[in-house]
Amino acid sequence: MKPSTAYQQHRDAIRQIVERHHAKNPRIFGSVLHGQDTDASDLDILIDTTEETSLFDVGAIRTELTELLGVEVDVLTPAALPDRWKMEVLNEARAV
C-alpha cells in the first residue's frame, strides 16, 4: 500500500497517537506531501515535542504508526532535521 493511501485513511488516528505520547502538531513532508510516494516509500512525520515528551515517546509513536498504517514511518522533530534541508522541510510540512 502506498503511504499516502494509509495516511488518508488514518489521519485522525495519527493525531491521537501523537497526542497520547505527549507530542503535538504532527505534519507530513517528503514524497507523500508531494504526491510522489510509491508502495516502497515511507511516511515522513514531523512532530513538536513538549516538556513531557521522551525519546521513548518518539519511538512509541513510530512503532504505533508503523503498525497502524502498515508502512514504514519516520518520525522526526525539528531539532533532528539535518541543517541542509531543515528550512525546506519546516516551510513545506503540512498538518495531518
List, for residues 32-88, the tens digit of each pLDDT value.
999 999 999 999 999 999 999 999 999 999 999 999 999 999 999 999 999 999 999
Q: Which amino acid is at 11?
A: R
Handedness of CA 66, 15, 93, 82 (dihedral sign): negative
User: Which residue matches cell numbers 503540512?
Assistant: 94
| Range 11-38 average pLDDT | 98
Domain ranges of the chain: 3-95
Q: What is the CATH number of domain 3-95?
A: 3.30.460.10
pLDDT of residue 20: 98
Distance CA 66, CA 73 (A): 6
Residue pair 24/18 in contact (Cβ under 8 Å)? The answer is yes
> How many residues make up the chain in this entry?
96
Q: What's the pTM?
A: 0.94
User: Which residue matches cell numbers 488514518?
Assistant: 10
